[in-house]
Amino acid sequence: MTDLFDSFHRRIDYIRISVTDRCNLRCAYCTAESMPRLPHDEILSYEEIRRVVQAAVGLGVGRIRLTGGEPLVRPDLSTLVELLTQIEGIDDIALTTNAILLGRYAAELKAVGLKRVNISLDTFKADKFKQITGSDKLENVLNGIETAMQVGLNPLKINTVVLKGFNDDELVDFARMSVDEGWHVRFIEHMPLVTTGAPNTQLVAVEDMMAIIQRSLGELKPSLPTSGNGPAKYYQLSGAKGTIGFIGPVTDCFCSECNRFRLTADGRMRPCLLEDSEIDLKGALRMGASSQELRELMQQAAALKKDRHHLGEEFVPNKRQMWQIGG
C-alpha cells in the first residue's frame, strides 16, 4: 500500500462522500431553490461508491464520512454502510445529517456498522428553525439526537453555524448542553462563499464566541478531540462530559492540516471544498476502470490540492452550491 500525499506533503487518509444532492431542508446559507437536482442515473450507485472506497484504501484512506444533501433521504443507506464496513482497512464510518429522519434509522445504521453522527442544528427556537431551514421539524431533530445517543452512535457531535444577529444569542444555551447532556458541540464561523466586496456582516469570530461563553459559563479549558478528522479546536467547561469545539475557516485557516478529499454525488473528486478543481471518477468507473486506474486519478486530484483556500479574498467556489459538494 502506498500512502497518498499532496504536493505540500499533507497525507490524505479521509474521504467525505456525498450520496445525494437532495435534501429535505432548504437552509438559507446552503442551498438555492432554483438549482436543478441531478437525475438518478447521474448519481453514483452504492456499488460504484464501494469501488471508489476500495481503491482509496490502497492509498491509505481508512476513514469515511457520508454526507449529502441530506444522506438519509437516499433509500436504503444502511446497505451502503454495510458494504463499506466489509472493506478491509476502513476503520471509521461516520454520517453528517440534519437528523430529521435519524430517529427512524439510527438503530438500523448502528446495527450495520455506522460508528457516529454529526448533526447540523443552528437553533433551539422553532420560529428561527423554520426561518433558516424552511421546515417546522425541530422536534424531529431533537428526537433524532436523543435516539442516536440511546443506540450508541457516539460521540455525537452537534454542528452549529453561528450567524450574527440570528442565533449568536443561543451560544450559551448550546454550550451548556455539553454540561447538562454531554453533547459535543462545535461552533462554526459563517463562510462567505461569494465575495461581493461587502463585509461579512453575519460573521461571529471564534474569539468572540469564546468570550461570550466564558462570560456566562466560566473558563474553557483546552481538551483533546473526542474522535474524527476535523479542524475543530476543542475545549471543556468545568464538570462537562461533553466538549465544545470551534471551527474558524475565516479567522483561523486550517489548510495546513487538511487530510481530506470530497467525492460528489455525481462522482467528481474535489481536493478542496472551496476550489472548483475536480477529477471525474464516474466516467472512469463506467468505462470499467481498474482499482489501480482509479488510484491514479486520485493521485491526480491530490496534485491539484492548493496550499490554502482564499475564503473571503476572491470569488470561491462558483460552479457548485454547498449541497452539490457535500460539505
Q: Which residue has the cell 461569494?
A: 194
Q: What is the mean pLDDT of the chain?
A: 88
CATH number assigned to the domain comprising residue 131: 3.20.20.70
The domain total for the chain is 1
Grid coordinates given for 252: 483561523
User: What's the pLDDT band for 258 if we cut at 50, 70, 90?
Assistant: confident
Residue 311 scores a pLDDT above 50: yes
Of all residues in the chain, the percent with pLDDT exceeding 90 is 65
Provide the angle, in degrees to the nearest 10, between the axes of the packed helices 126-133 and 138-151.
Answer: 100
State residue 9's pLDDT score: 85
Cα dihedral 13→67→83→57 (10° resolution): -10
State residue 316's pLDDT score: 52
Higher pLDDT among residues 274 and 146, named by residue: 146
Give the domain range for residue 131.
4-325
State residue 196's pLDDT score: 47
Mean pLDDT in residue range 235-241 = 95
State residue 248's pLDDT score: 84
Q: Is 228 left (phi over 0), alpha (psi -120 to 50) or beta?
A: left
User: Residues 167-191: pLDDT tens digits?
Assistant: 999 999 999 999 999 999 999 988 7
Among the ranges given (249-263, 269-283, 301-315), the one the predictor scored with the smallest mean pLDDT: 301-315
Residue 118 scores a pLDDT above 60: yes
User: Residues 189-222: pLDDT tens digits?
Assistant: 887 655 444 456 788 999 999 999 999 999 999 9
User: Residues 40-74: pLDDT tens digits?
Assistant: 999 999 999 999 999 999 999 999 999 988 999 99
Higher pLDDT among residues 313 and 113, named by residue: 113
Strands 92-97, 63-67: parallel, antiparallel or unpaired by DSSP?
A: parallel
Distance CA 259, CA 229 (A): 8
Distance CA 216, CA 175 (A): 10
DSSP SS3 for 116: strand
Predicted TM-score (pTM) of the model is 0.91
- Smallest CA-to-CA distance from 190 within 36, 29, 33 is with 29
> What's the full length of the chain, in residues?
327
State residue 134's pLDDT score: 87
